Chains A and B, each alone.
Chain A
């Protein structure tokens, strides 16, 4: 039997076959589209979760890193949505001095900037004192031999630093939780976001369960405890 004869024998069924094929294809397409849409939703949800987790990680890393550098005396104020601190940006070991000018072996996140920084001398009888920084510039001194990673700087202060063992360079900064992001504000400048706006609503600063520290609550059940020593016994006073 030739193929022409086979086709001839099946005449009259083409339309039905076509309709069935179209129906099946539509059904399959609908199912596939449904799967695709569902997958896109899952992907979008996962992406948001990942980015939100990133934001929490960044917030925790920034705040824990800052908290490790400070003590209770360096926390100026705290509330559910803000934390004002002395944010340390460098430390210098005095190696020579003449009245208000001091040479230090300096190591820090950045060089001191008189426009935004102050200096906290640390030593016997110098508790919590801060001195305005008038000028800071690299300058060698015969008595100052820097170790690897250190730079010799000449600091001019508003007053004599006293018998300081260390000069800590700090800026007055404030961390905010607003519009679902952790933000940082230096002095009177604007609030700069440190994370994406993906922290869940209700994130706040709160006392830790033992009342000895402050923690960042980022969502129900998700808590990042900051090192306790940075608030210590002042927690009640800061966050009643």
Chain B
């Protein structure tokens, strides 16, 4: 039988060719896997960041009585734990210089080690949670109703759910108060919050929100929220619709107010005041009196891990 002794290169060449092809396939596969890993990492980082930013943007909404205690000058931490999908999110809140600093951290569950943080700065609402802005047409320390004065809270009206007068002492004068008179406890007076409202207005100027540390004169037609540390005077023939909070108030004859008045001191009424809880609620919502606001100058802060 004949036996071939010819040396051949086919096997070597075939091996070389296969090696090159394999190398190309493996390199392509490696690149695809790396691209996929990079995309997955970018996606996970984005999810973490969005979860942290979302928690930082909602941690103080809605405003609660617990958050009011944070704004009292101390620095308690309010921690909230929540889950966003499979991520763990923790938000903490603390007061600083009259503002609220919210820090939220989102983390991957173990064994993942991804983390993202976000910080926001909030202006607390000027009114504590649960403040009733329409308990009566006029809430005051004392009141005098001139002969032609009318202060009304007409029962049965869906927008009237309160008294005509809320007073610390009995009112004087011959004017009419329709809707009853109720005693006002000093610590329940909305007007005691005038300094807080003035500070809030300074950092958060809004059209329709008039704030003055001293006295104020109103004439003509106006609506909105008026806050004054001194006396607010409504001249004859003027009409105001909304919320009036001041140290004292003088309403001249033929002047009309629709909404609610809160004063710490004396209310002298010669015109008319009609309690309108719907207008009061509408103005409070429009000016976000019970809602925390992102601090206008820098709503979000750089967050560091």
Contacts and interface: CB of A to CB of B under 8 A. Distances in A.
B301 A91 contact: yes
Interface residues of B, number: 32
A131 to B, nearest CB: 15
B183 to A, nearest CB: 36
B31 interface: yes
B203 interface: yes
B101 A166 contact: yes
Given A50-B31, A165-B101, A166-B101, A93 B96 contact: yes
B301 A124 contact: no
Contacts of A149: 305
**Chain A interface size range:** 35 or more
A39 B24 contact: yes
11 contacts: A35-B20, A46-B27, A69-B302, A93-B96, A94-B96, A107-B305, A124-B203, A164-B96, A165-B98, A165-B101, A166-B121
A187 interface: no
Interface string B36-72: 0010000000000000000000000000000000000
Majority SS of interface residues in chain B? mixed
Contacts of B300: 71
A25 B12 CA distance: 13
Interface in A57-116: 57, 68-71, 88, 90-91, 93-95, 107-109
Interface of B: 2, 9, 13, 16, 20, 24, 27, 31, 38, 75, 77, 92, 94, 96-99, 101, 119, 121, 199, 202-203, 295, 297-298, 300-305
Contacts of B97: 94, 123-124, 163-165
A163 B295 CA distance: 14
A91 B31 CA distance: 39
B249 to A, nearest CB: 28
Given A90-B304, A165-B101, A125 B202 contact: yes
Contacts of A69: 302
Nearest to A57: B38
A122 interface: yes
Majority SS of interface residues in chain A? mixed
Nearest to B16: A32
Given A93-B101, A165-B101, A166-B121, A122 B24 contact: no
Nearest to B3: A3
B194 to A, nearest CB: 17
Scoring A3, A39, A69, A95 by chain B CB atoms within 10 A of each residue's CB, the highest score goes to: A69
B301 A168 contact: yes
Contacts of B75: 95
Nearest to B305: A149
B29 to A, nearest CB: 13
A20 interface: no
Contact of B304 (A6, A46, A107, A128): A107
- Please give me the 9 A-B residue pairs with the lowest Cβ-Cβ distance, nearest first: A69-B302, A165-B96, A165-B97, A165-B99, A88-B302, A124-B203, A163-B97, A107-B304, A123-B97
Given A39-B20, A165-B96, A165-B99, A122 B298 contact: yes
A73 B32 CA distance: 42
A91 B304 contact: yes
